[in-house]
Chains A and B, each alone.
Chain A
Amino acid sequence: MTIWVLWLVTVLLCIGAVLGPGGLRWRLSALTLALITIACLAPFLLPVYRVSQLTRMWSLAISLLGLNIISGYGGQVSLGQGAFMLMGAYTLAILTDGAEQLGMVDARPWPFWAVLPVAGGVAGAAGVVLGVVSLRWRGVFLALGTFAAALALPHVLLRYDNFSGGARGIRFPATPPPEFLKGLISQHEWLYFLGLLSFLVAFGLCWNLHRGSWGRALVATRESELAAKAMGVNVTRIRVEAFALSAGLGGVAGVLYAMPLRFVMHETIEPLESIYLFLALIAGGLGSLPAAIPAAALLIYLPTDMVQLVGRLPGLGVELVARAPGLIQGVLVVVILLLLPYGIIPALGQLATWRPAWALRSWRPLAVQWRGARVPLWKGRPMAPGETLRREATDDPNKEV
């Protein structure tokens, strides 16, 4: 089964969820369930290298979730997510490679379930530092500052190579599946499910935070810092925490990113990747958590399949693909940005304004004639002719409307 069929089905399901009948909560739950089912079935239906591409997609999606927290909800431009991923990758390498870079600490290789939180913690600590200095930097200065951090990290790793392996890098063994899964799934399926599970956990965490008071406070600081402060939000704390969370997610993503490589060196994640991550998030939709998935898919498929697809178009041809794949990628990104300036997920949201009239109907049985007329809804029931929303001056103000 080709992977494009799976993606087509996914897209159709999403559109169906937007345009389909029923309440929002029901539709979203059904969609989530359907997508998770597809995601779980995918590794058994696809060729191995497609599965490993999807594994990388989950890792990038986690990183993009983090980036969305700080850039989408927090409104702060961060061009340094790649650096946090690199930190996570090195944490994995140092802790699992069996060579003692940190003395007693990593004398024996650590299991993966311990490495993930540690990597998140290490990157999160770096995020705290960045968050503290970001309090003084604004907008464009912050963009440059985070990019400077992304540029500096490989140099630091290279220069101080006692524990980073410097230019030689660090080789570490593959992460085997845990005992109870040993015979059941293969190595690539294991990495895939680890990535999927981590993404779902991270997504759940971010979703919860977003809907809770912390998330609302963070969005408030984006809209107007002054107003947020006036409402009692501790802007300093929220921002530092947002950076820490964002960086921590980047660190975890870095671990998953490096696991299939089994090798890490200072150039494994380049500063340019941070810029690509940011670009992809914009194309996916800044400020909406599910945008991590189309953004990650874009990062995976743009340099590989999308460019080759352009090469198959008659006339343009193979020479262009062979000689200027970057040009094609840039043009494709520009096309996407021009067509969907707010991103892919917000465009889906916009589509909701075109829900057909029959889908607006609630599923509660009601004997009401529609006759094609657009009947206003209030409180989930159609209004009787002559009934208005406005309260008359003579009405009792305490009567429930």
Chain B
Amino acid sequence: MALVEAIVALLTQTAVFLAPKPWENWSLFSEQIARGVAIGSAYALVALAIVLVFRSSELLNFAQGEWGMFTTFVAWSLVVAGTAIGVSYVAAIALGAALAAVMFWGLVMRVRETLPLTRVAVTIAMFLMFNSAAVWIYARGQLPKYFPSPFGLQAVDLGPFTLSRHELGTLSVSLAVMLLLSWFFTRTKVGLAMRAAATNPEASRLMGINVNRMLTLGWAMGGALGSAAAFLIAPVTGLFTAFMFPVLIYAFAGAVLGGIISPPGAVVGGILIGVGENLLGTYSPSWLGSEMKLPLILMTIMAVLVVRPMGIFGQPGGGRA
């Protein structure tokens, strides 16, 4: 019947040639894994930002990526004007933190007594606003521009595979940030106060913790992380106003996979997404095609969540510990 024929034709369409199987070419396989870990660590930074915000405000911040994009554009103008790239990086991170804090204070706090969905809507509106603001200010920013890497782009030979200095740099920065954050949350008073404020705001208030300040700090850290990640991603994808869209999706996916309230989960989730994306891109069977990477990644995560709805590190019942 024609319908069956149509379905069969569907599945055997466009002959796409396969990569050698993993066991045929270990070097390729390990390279894809290494590369995936490197880019995954950048996703992990954005995922961390999302988790930080979610833990404190129970809100998915859709504008996270756009703030990162915006600060990267500002950093780009600084670099073009002659500032050293390290200084621009620090400036971008500071701007990201400030932007997040101001936006939180000015907008999100205003609507926090209303429906949670209204707060999500406000973050979506901010996403649209910042995207347009960037298009307006950097009107020629719609086509990808070169953005220098703080680490340089030369290739480094690591035995079975090569990675670029930028990828190694991204990995190290992410690692450093994660260690810093984990030290901050477990060993400092402020970190402890933030965790307390996120877990139980009423009790924290009674203990003398200024919960609003902790929330603003959480958002500021999220903004800083988003900027740090965007700065590292822009050299790879090119700088244009939409470069953080797919990264935001991957970061959401990674955060959700890891358990939306767990920072180590965000890191693991982000890296898994990076590796998965690369492996899917390389080894997809022909009837699927490597261009289905994004939907496939998301579908896989959704499947994982059907089995384990709270994510890898999440608590059953969606608890906030």
Q: How far is the CA of A337 from the CA of B253 in the complex (A)?
A: 27
Q: Which residue of A lies closest to B317 (CB)?
A: A138
Q: Which residue of A lies closest to B112 (CB)?
A: A341
A162 with B9: CB separation less than 8 A: yes
Contact code string B152-192 (vs A, CB < 8 Å = 1, else 0): 00000000000000000000000000000000000000000
Q: Quick check: which of B74-82, B115-123, B143-151, B201-209 contacts chain A, the rest being far away?
A: B115-123
Contact code string A136-177 (vs B, CB < 8 Å = 1, else 0): 111111011101100110011001101100000000000000
Is A100 an interface position by the 8 A CB rule?
Answer: yes
Residues of the B chain whose Cβ atoms lie less than 8 Å from the Cβ of A105: 3
Residues of the A chain whose Cβ atoms lie less than 8 Å from the Cβ of B133: 324, 327
A148 with B1: CB separation less than 8 A: no
A133 with B306: CB separation less than 8 A: yes
Contact code string B113-143 (vs A, CB < 8 Å = 1, else 0): 1110110111011111111110110010000
Contact pick for A275, options B124, B301, B306, B311, CB 8 Å = B124
Q: How far is the CA of A159 from the CA of B309 in the complex (A)?
A: 30
A141 with B3: CB separation less than 8 A: no
The interface residues of chain B, by DSSP majority, are classed as helix
A136 with B125: CB separation less than 8 A: no
Is A90 an interface position by the 8 A CB rule?
Answer: no
Contact pick for B294, options A145, A151, A342, CB 8 Å = A151
Q: How far is the CA of A160 from the CA of B309 in the complex (A)?
A: 31
A103 with B110: CB separation less than 8 A: no
B125 with A100: CB separation less than 8 A: no
Is A104 an interface position by the 8 A CB rule?
Answer: yes
Interface residues of B, CB < 8 Å — how many? 54
CB distance from B11 to the nearest CB of A (A): 8
Q: How far is the CA of A191 from the CA of B77 in the complex (A)?
A: 51
Residues of the B chain whose Cβ atoms lie less than 8 Å from the Cβ of A328: 132
**A294-353 contacts to B (CB < 8 Å):** 320, 323-331, 333-334, 337-338, 341-342
B13 with A144: CB separation less than 8 A: no
**A102-B2, A325-B132, A327-B129 known; A145+B107 contact, CB < 8 A:** no
Contact pick for A155, options B1, B62, B294, B306, CB 8 Å = B294
A136 with B117: CB separation less than 8 A: no
Q: How far is the CA of A137 from the CA of B308 in the complex (A)?
A: 9
Interface residues of A, CB < 8 Å — how many? 50
Q: Which residue of A lies closest to B245 (CB)?
A: A272
**A148-B295, A155-B295, A159-B291 known; A330+B6 contact, CB < 8 A:** no
Residues of the B chain whose Cβ atoms lie less than 8 Å from the Cβ of A278: 121, 124
By CB atoms of chain B within 10 A, which of A133, A139, A325, A338 has the most?
A338
Contact pick for A140, options B110, B260, B298, CB 8 Å = B260
Q: How far is the CA of A323 from the CA of B134 in the complex (A)?
A: 11
Contact code string B1-38 (vs A, CB < 8 Å = 1, else 0): 11101100110010000000000000000000000000
Contact pick for A156, options B9, B62, B136, B295, CB 8 Å = B295
A139 with B318: CB separation less than 8 A: yes
Q: Quick check: which of A195-203, A279-287, A365-373 contacts chain B, the rest being far away?
A: A279-287
Contact pick for A279, options B9, B125, B139, B298, CB 8 Å = B125
B121 with A337: CB separation less than 8 A: yes
Residues of the B chain whose Cβ atoms lie less than 8 Å from the Cβ of A133: 302, 306
A341 with B128: CB separation less than 8 A: no
**B266-321 contacts to A (CB < 8 Å):** 289, 291-292, 294-295, 298-299, 301-302, 305-306, 309, 311, 318
Is A258 an interface position by the 8 A CB rule?
Answer: no
Q: How far is the CA of A232 from the CA of B171 in the complex (A)?
A: 53
Residues of the A chain whose Cβ atoms lie less than 8 Å from the Cβ of B219: none
**A133-B306, A141-B256, A341-B118 known; A103+B6 contact, CB < 8 A:** yes
CB distance from B262 to the nearest CB of A (A): 13
Residues of the B chain whose Cβ atoms lie less than 8 Å from the Cβ of A286: 115, 117
Is A71 an interface position by the 8 A CB rule?
Answer: yes
**A324-B135, A330-B126 known; A163+B6 contact, CB < 8 A:** yes
Q: How far is the CA of A313 from the CA of B252 in the complex (A)?
A: 39
Q: How far is the CA of A133 from the CA of B129 in the complex (A)?
A: 33
Q: Which residue of B lies closest to A77 (CB)?
A: B117
Contact code string A75-107 (vs B, CB < 8 Å = 1, else 0): 001000000000000000000000011111100
Q: How far is the CA of A163 from the CA of B249 in the complex (A)?
A: 29
Q: Which residues of A contact B (CB under 8 A)?
A: 71, 77, 100-105, 133, 136-141, 143-145, 147-148, 151-152, 155-156, 159-160, 162-163, 275, 278-279, 282-283, 286, 320, 323-331, 333-334, 337-338, 341-342
Q: Which residue of B lies closest to A341 (CB)?
A: B114
A283 with B295: CB separation less than 8 A: no
**A77-B117, A286-B117 known; A152+B125 contact, CB < 8 A:** no
Is B111 an interface position by the 8 A CB rule?
Answer: yes
A162 with B136: CB separation less than 8 A: no
Is B60 an interface position by the 8 A CB rule?
Answer: yes
Q: How far is the CA of A331 from the CA of B311 in the complex (A)?
A: 35
Is B54 an interface position by the 8 A CB rule?
Answer: yes
By CB atoms of chain B within 10 A, which of A137, A283, A330 has the most?
A330
Contact pick for A160, options B10, B121, B139, CB 8 Å = B10
CB distance from A284 to the nearest CB of B (A): 11
B299 with A333: CB separation less than 8 A: no
B117 with A71: CB separation less than 8 A: yes
Residues of the B chain whose Cβ atoms lie less than 8 Å from the Cβ of A143: 60, 120
Q: Which residue of B lies closest to A139 (CB)?
A: B318
Contact pick for B124, options A103, A139, A279, CB 8 Å = A279
17 contacts between A and B (CB under 8 A): A105-B3, A133-B306, A144-B302, A148-B295, A151-B295, A152-B295, A279-B125, A282-B115, A320-B136, A326-B128, A326-B129, A327-B129, A327-B132, A330-B128, A334-B122, A337-B122, A341-B115
Q: Which residue of B lies closest to A103 (CB)?
A: B2
Q: How far is the CA of A116 from the CA of B256 in the complex (A)?
A: 37
Q: How far is the CA of A312 from the CA of B124 in the complex (A)?
A: 26
Residues of the B chain whose Cβ atoms lie less than 8 Å from the Cβ of A329: 128, 132
**A77-B117, A102-B3 known; A160+B13 contact, CB < 8 A:** yes
Q: Which residue of A lies closest to B295 (CB)?
A: A152
A334 with B126: CB separation less than 8 A: yes
CB distance from A26 to the nearest CB of B (A): 31
